Structure 1
Amino acid sequence: MADDPPDMDDASYEDLKELVQLLRQEVAELKRENAALRDENARLKGKPPRPDVKPSRMAENAGSGGKPSGKGQGKSRRRGSKRSRLTIDEDRHLRPDGIPDNARFKGYEDYVVQDLEVRPRNIRYCRERWELPDGTTLTADLPADTRGHYGGELRRLVLSLYHRGQMTVPRLTRQLSDLGLLIDQRQVQRLLADPGDVFVPESREVLHAGVASAAWVSVDGTGARHRGQNGYCTQIGDSRFTGFATTDAKSRLDFLEILRAGHTDYVINVEALAYMAEHNLAQQAIERLADGPTHFPDKASWLAHLSALGLDRQERHARLATEAALYGAITHHRLLEETVVLSDDAGQFRVGDHALCWIHAERLIKGLDAFTARERAAVKKLRRLIWEFYDALKGYAKAPSAERRKQLRQRFDRIFRRKTDFAPLDRLLQRLYRRKEELLTVLDRPEVPLHTNGSENDIRSHVTRRKISGGTRSDHGRDCRDAHLGLMKTCDKLGISYWQYLGIP
């Protein structure tokens, strides 16, 4: 320090307090310098820098006992009583031992305990058999939820442990055997299937209703194994629903098939022709399609029409025409009406009214390789400007106004049209500026999120399932897996217990 410290014996309390504060500041500065030197040394040696670990949010609430308040709130919330939400199933009276003769009874002190009873229950149905006058036999039906020799509650448990608990079939079989059930893996797999065609059709109805009524949908995808081959699973959802669909490849054709939400027809209408023109399909091909039939009930009739027009000879023409016909069917059935498709900028998701995720856009800048101090400073400054602009967009979404919208558009231009001394950064800014309308969708549609975090959260369950169980071996097994994962996520978003949903007859 510049000044000599005061004599400790004669120093007052205020002097000591000031000295401690100065020492703390100097130690913090030395730590920062030391960390910077370590990072520079690691960079010169070609090693990665130290990870940027963010401080714990618990420190933000140190004034409230150091406990996190949750969701960034400054005040801690009281947990409230759980007892009021419980239904008492049984009352048991407990009497203490050694009560003296002169004691007086003073009532009861209630103490509620939650417990669970898990045990096998074997039911023998005595089915009445009646012989009819014509000689045939009439036998009473089994309960509707019976599957083979297993009841509805067991199947409910199997579905819940497999999808919610993310258990494998071997472990699930062993767990049931430990409970005293006589069951093997093949029988467990039969319980996981959907022989009554209940859950798979219902998941498709959820997807259809969601796409038809959503103001926005966010989408994401991940790899999926099926029949020993690499495939692709696509997630579609908003704040109310989630749908999963696994296809053979990651393409816009497959994405449009999913958006068609169960419909099988192909339609050539105004929207389909506009799609062809937007994607630079040959004008001669557009005219041929416009002059012919407009509705095709299935894929076979559509492919026959393409062959008759000679458009199947060039793969690009056939692909763009099919994409346009699928998009025409989507608009024909009034799906995606005024619906924004929010994505991470993967090419197959650029359909209709498209919006970009700001988190993924910023990652492009964060991932630039900067080699000099000036380049690193330019990247750091721009990232700071983007996050400040991101916070401003969040504020606008809560209280939109025409004046604020104009200011934010001008601010976007100032950020993304600036010139730096870092050429790759300048090229990336130009690229993002060309996507201005997709990044600023929130200005016209404040209800649309700025990120795809919801989709990434949804699809994480599919990734976990893939890591635990690998791939699927049958189309029915693939559809059942996708259906239950989507229905489970939909239940969570609607505040419905997935366990209770599985028990609905």
Structure 2
Amino acid sequence: MTQGKLLEFLENIDLLEHFQLPTKWQNPLEVLPQETVLSEAEFHTLLDTHLPKLGSQQRTRIMEAVAIAFYHQQTDWPVVQTLVCDDAPQLKLLTDNIALCWVDEERNYKKLSAFIACHQKVLDKFLDDFWNYYRDLLPCQDSPSQQTADKLRYKFWKLFHTDSGYQQLDERKPLTLVKISELLYVLEHPELPLHNNPVELGARTMVQRGNISYATQTLEGTQAWDTFMYLVATTRKLGISFFEYIRDRISKVGNIPCLATTFYEKSALNPFGCSWIPHSAP
């Protein structure tokens, strides 16, 4: 990573301030070598030299800020414009636009402790209304319209602005109400999913594999592990049997086309990104 560009970028977008790094730790960063390509280990060595009393939490914040800054500057991979995720603060720095996951938002309400029967009834009623509203959003992905979007925005405001008499629930609702633009970003871009469960399930598969096999012993083993986990996930999403795919490749029959070819064929049937294309005025 290029240290000079990183520090300039950090200053421009106030990443260090966002991570609440004290000024006494920010100032020493300005004396680090400029326009120098550094590995992660070399950067840690510089921190040890110039900030010897830096705590582990502050070091983590600096490394996160540097990683995010470098991600925005690198040109090897396109920077994601929109991310469907939860509302973790670090994720908001990765991209310009955030679309919040509805499943994650509902979990905030599932955590409420309604011990009184009347409160339990109110909470159950709200959760039913929550998912009914979610189901109302689904048709908008296939046939979006401005009139429908306006109605859904009003229903969103009504759902999360109306008091229920259950204090915990009424205190939670405004926290969702302020996220209206992120939760309803799908009304502007219908191509976006309403949740990111497939991504979370994919990450969970890797964790489960680690629990079973613990870890690999060599770099080659790690690469092989990653490759086959990628193939399993990709074939599943493309509707291809992983077993048949492996057998086709080993036997060299060639009945199953390249996964990239299948991916492009399927993506051509879905106008992903069309709502981002500027339309010229008639």
Tell me whether the two structures share a fold, i.e. TM-score over 0.5.
yes
2:67 counterpart residue number: 326
1:282 counterpart residue number: 22
Which of 495, 498, 504 aligns to 2:245? It is 498
Residue pair 1:312, 1:318 contacting (<8 A) in 2 also: no
2:138 counterpart residue number: 394
Q: AA paired with 1:458?
A: G
Q: Provide Cα deviations, 1:71-130, integer angstroms capped at 9, x if missing partner.
A: xxxxxxxxxxxxxxxxxxxxxxxxxxxxxxxxxxxxxxxxxxxxxxxxxxxxxxxxxxxx
Counterpart check, 1:316 vs 2:54: no
**Runs of at least 4 residues of structure 1 off by over 6 A?**
none
Counterpart check, 1:352 vs 2:94: yes
Residue pair 1:265, 1:295 contacting (<8 A) in 2 also: yes
Could you say what secondary structure the match of 1:480 adopts?
Answer: helix
The 3 A distance-change label for structure 1 pair 432 and 321 is same
Residue 464 of structure 1, CA deviation: 5.4
Q: AA paired with 2:83?
A: V
| Aligned equivalents of 2:155, 2:227: Cα separation in 1 | 44
Which of 79, 88, 92 aligns to 1:337? It is 79
Which of 255, 268, 284 aligns to 2:6? It is 268
Q: Provide Cα deviations, 1:137-165, integer angstroms capped at 9, x if missing partner.
A: xxxxxxxxxxxxxxxxxxxxxxxxxxxxx
TM-score by length of 1: 0.41
Could you say what secondary structure the match of 2:237 adopts?
Answer: helix
The 3 A distance-change label for structure 1 pair 359 and 351 is same
Between the aligned residues of both structures, percent identity stands at 24
Counterpart check, 1:385 vs 2:125: no
| Aligned equivalents of 1:360, 1:488: Cα separation in 2 | 26
2:181 counterpart residue number: 437
Could you say what secondary structure the match of 2:84 adopts?
Answer: strand
1:160 counterpart residue number: none
Residue 383 of structure 1, CA deviation: 1.4
Could you say what secondary structure the match of 1:296 adopts?
Answer: coil
Residue 330 of structure 1, CA deviation: 0.9
**Correspondence list, 1:288-299, <5 A:** 288-289=28-29, 293=34, 295-299=36-40
| Aligned equivalents of 1:311, 1:296: Cα separation in 2 | 22
Residue 351 of structure 1, CA deviation: 4.4
Q: Which structure dedicates a bigger proportion of its chain to helix?
A: 2
Q: Provide Cα deviations, 1:370-395, integer angstroms capped at 9, x if missing partner.
A: 23332122112211221122122222
Which of 198, 205, 215 aligns to 1:472? It is 215
| Aligned equivalents of 1:360, 1:444: Cα separation in 2 | 20
| Aligned equivalents of 2:233, 2:112: Cα separation in 1 | 35
The 3 A distance-change label for structure 1 pair 291 and 463 is closer
2:110 counterpart residue number: 366
TM-score by length of 2: 0.69
Residue 365 of structure 1, CA deviation: 1.8
| Aligned equivalents of 2:17, 2:162: Cα separation in 1 | 33
| Aligned equivalents of 2:91, 2:218: Cα separation in 1 | 24
Residue 450 of structure 1, CA deviation: 0.9
The 3 A distance-change label for structure 1 pair 472 and 503 is farther
| Aligned equivalents of 1:270, 1:402: Cα separation in 2 | 42
Which of 394, 409, 416 aligns to 2:160? It is 416
2:169 counterpart residue number: 425
Counterpart check, 1:305 vs 2:46: yes
| Aligned equivalents of 1:280, 1:503: Cα separation in 2 | 57
Q: Provide Cα deviations, 1:235-260, integer angstroms capped at 9, x if missing partner.
A: xxxxxxxxxxxxxxxxxxxxxxxxxx
2:267 counterpart residue number: none
Residue pair 1:343, 1:356 contacting (<8 A) in 2 also: yes
1:139 counterpart residue number: none
Residue 282 of structure 1, CA deviation: 3.0
Could you say what secondary structure the match of 1:268 adopts?
Answer: helix
Q: Provide Cα deviations, 1:15-71, integer angstroms capped at 9, x if missing partner.
A: xxxxxxxxxxxxxxxxxxxxxxxxxxxxxxxxxxxxxxxxxxxxxxxxxxxxxxxxx
Higher Cα Rg, which structure: 1
Instruction: Extract unaligned runs of 5+ from structure 2.
Output: 253-282
Q: AA paired with 1:492?
A: R
Q: AA paired with 1:322?
A: M
Residue pair 1:268, 1:328 contacting (<8 A) in 2 also: yes
The 3 A distance-change label for structure 1 pair 281 and 444 is farther
The 3 A distance-change label for structure 1 pair 310 and 461 is closer
Q: Which structure dedicates a bigger proportion of its chain to strand?
A: 1
Q: Provide Cα deviations, 1:321-356, integer angstroms capped at 9, x if missing partner.
A: 221111121111244524333334567655423433
Residue 412 of structure 1, CA deviation: 2.0
| Aligned equivalents of 1:422, 1:502: Cα separation in 2 | 61
The 3 A distance-change label for structure 1 pair 351 and 482 is farther
Instruction: Extract unaligned runs of 5+ from structure 1.
Output: 1-263
Residue 449 of structure 1, CA deviation: 1.0
Q: CA RMSD in A?
A: 3.3
| Aligned equivalents of 1:501, 1:346: Cα separation in 2 | 41
Residue 307 of structure 1, CA deviation: 3.7
| Aligned equivalents of 1:312, 1:350: Cα separation in 2 | 29
Could you say what secondary structure the match of 1:442 adopts?
Answer: helix
RCO higher in structure (CA 8 A, sep ≥6): 1
